[in-house]
Structure 1
Amino acid sequence: MNEVSSTELAAMLCSRLCHDMLSPVGAMSNGLELLASETDREMRQNCMELLQQSAAVSTNKLKFFRLAFGAAGGFGERVSVEEPKELVEALVADKGRIEVQWALSHATLSKPAVKVLLNFAQIAIDALVRGGRLDIGAELRDGACELVVRASGDRIAFDEIVGKALDGSLPASDLSSRTAAAHMIALLAKECGGGLQYARGDDALVLGAVLPEPEGLIG
């Protein structure tokens, strides 16, 4: 695994967060400007709908990044699977044209597993530029959590540089805000004694992880 300082990685993740938040926050700013100058009742209603939609998108993204990138304060060592399900469903609703299927064998997952699952889901959603299907599975077996996220559709947009960040072969000098999240979960998997892998075809992208579970924390 290539070395990058924790400060540099944190800065890259912050850049990614700011990039993703810019659009919905900018839309709220535009909506407020229009609302301040608009007198037509119908147009003001349209402005309010824009503000509500942008606020919802911003809130969902912040919740996602809190759990996918942050320390996830407020959660215990294990997280209900309903939390990542709700966040992924919100991301998919914002993108549109993506069907999600879940196969989760347990009611809770460890924090590391949730972080990997959410970041896998983000990569997979971004890959479905023309829509498609997202299959997400998690199973606890033989003392480890096995995660699989599969994106299938007419066109798969996946930059191999992200794959290199996932498998640890990307030089630290080539890391950027675009690959920081993949690098982060690769480090996380290594710390847990597990690993990540991926496979890409013409119409599918499969992301997988095996993360050993601490004894006594399987729920």
Structure 2
Amino acid sequence: MTKQDRDLTALIGSRICHDLISPLGAIGNGVELLQLSGLPDSPEMALIAESVTNANLRIRFFRVAFGAAHDGQLIAEGEIRSILAPGVDGRKIDIGWQPVEDQPRTAVKLAFLLLQCFESAMPWGGHIQVTRDETHWQIRGEAEKLKVDPDLWGLLSEPQPGIDVPPAQVHFALIAPELGRQGRAAAVTIADHSISVEF
């Protein structure tokens, strides 16, 4: 993937997320207005409200993970924590975000891409801890049961053109090019009940 391809991919991600956030917000506002108008609570309204909340959180997450991130740009700590807050869907994975203060958007982009890798490996739930020491980041996930695809996790170290990456796992293919752009490298350690990635 060339630099131009990476830039276009990020810009497309930013554009799609930007265009989806407004209508989702409008739907959420409409639901609130219906509730304020005295419309009785119903399972249908609760389902719509929950779905809009979860979709908003997911779109905001994708905007950071797949969108454009420029050197020197920061993302507010409050924004990060609100995006990673548990949704109303009873998410099975608990994410502990340790870094305090605003963070470089480029590093958070990498962290969010990696979090999706952890989610792919932990379909039955678990706990993920994100820490930062100066410029060094570590993401560690623990679960009773892991689902690890060695070929996909191998992509974190270096691009492998022969690996067929399904759309649902595209985050695995984006990490090595982004690491290269940032002048970083990833160290991956996989055990029976844990995964650790440092960059």
TM-score, length of structure 2 as denominator length? 0.73
After superposition, residues 57-96 of structure 1 pair within 5 angstroms as 57-71=54-68, 77-90=73-86, 94=89, 96=91
Q: For residue 133 of structure 2, what is the aligned residue in structure 1? A: 139
CA RMSD of aligned residues (A): 3.5
- Per-residue Cα deviation, 1:72-96 (whole angstroms, up to 9, x for no partner): 69xx7112233222222246x6453
Q: Percent identity?
A: 20
Amino acid at match of 2:175: I
8 Å contact kept, 1:60–1:90: no
- State the 4+ residue runs in structure 1 displaced beyond 4 angstroms: 2-5
Q: For residue 124 of structure 2, what is the aligned residue in structure 1? A: 130
Distance 1:4 1:72 in 2: 13
Count of aligned residue pairs for this structure pair: 178
Picking from 52, 56, 60, the partner of 2:53 is: 56
Picking from 39, 43, 47, the partner of 1:46 is: 43
1:157 lines up with 2:147 in the alignment: yes
Q: Unaligned 5+ residue runs, structure 1?
A: 29-40, 210-219
The verdict on how the C-alpha distance between 1:97 and 1:90 changes in structure 2, with shifts beyond 3 A counting, is closer
Amino acid at match of 2:156: L
Segment of structure 1 superposing worse, 116-125 or 78-87:
78-87
Name the SS for the 1:167 alignment partner. coil
After superposition, residues 177-196 of structure 1 pair within 5 angstroms as 177-196=167-186
Q: Unaligned 5+ residue runs, structure 2?
A: 28-38
TM-score, length of structure 1 as denominator length? 0.67
Higher strand share: 1
- Per-residue Cα deviation, 1:2-51 (whole angstroms, up to 9, x for no partner): 669728x839x86xx99xx9xxx9xx9xxxxxxxxxxxx98x71100000
Bigger relative CO (Cα 8 Å, ≥ 6 apart): 1
1:56: Cα distance to partner?
Answer: 0.5
Distance 1:113 1:86 in 2: 17
1:115: Cα distance to partner?
Answer: 0.2
Amino acid at match of 2:95: V
The verdict on how the C-alpha distance between 1:4 and 1:70 changes in structure 2, with shifts beyond 3 A counting, is closer
8 Å contact kept, 1:100–1:134: yes
